[in-house]
Amino acid sequence: MKKSDEDLGEELYNLLAELLNRKIHRTVLDSIRGEYGVLRFLMYVQDHVSTGTLAEHLHVVPGRMTDILNSLEHKELILRRRSEEDKRRVLVSLTETGKEEAIKMRTFIRREYHDMFQLLGKKDTEEFIRLLKIVLSYSGEESERNKKDTT
């Protein structure tokens, strides 16, 4: 029996919800926009950035970013300094301990996903990544345009 577009959409939604609600994925998702997300950004994207840049790139509201940075600073994983050019801006950078923690967390995530990649094999893992990139390129704007066109 052939599935309708509506049935396929529902199945996709249910599978994504199940995938994202698994413990390992919740741990990774929570970390991406939390402390590890900040450490990862500073380590692998750009160090010495403003708090606003971090909040924007990690999709975190400023109040939540302040909480994350307070915690990281308390653990001595980051340093916050006022910009020399603009005293209103606060720049964030990693400490040596922060760099070690970022590497340790990245190693943990790689180890956790290694078994899934072993299960899929290289070819299917590459195909899964290719398909995820397509899904991630979908903004939802097409769907909004179609709704407007029919009203």
The pLDDT tens digits for 90-135 are: 899 999 999 999 999 888 878 877 877 888 889 998 998 898 888 8
- Evaluated on CA atoms 122, 124, 130, 132, the torsion sign reads negative
The domain segmentation of the chain, as residue ranges, is 33-150
Q: What is the DSSP string of 28-42?
A: HHHHHTSHHHHHHHH
pLDDT over 80 (residue 33)? no
Fold of 33-150: Arc Repressor Mutant, subunit A (1.10.10)
pLDDT band at 27 (very low <50, low <70, confident <90, very high): low
139 contact partners, CB below 8 Å, separation of at least 6: none
* pLDDT value of position 113: 77
Burial (CB count within 10 angstroms: exposed 0-12, middle 13-18, buried 19+), residue 54: buried
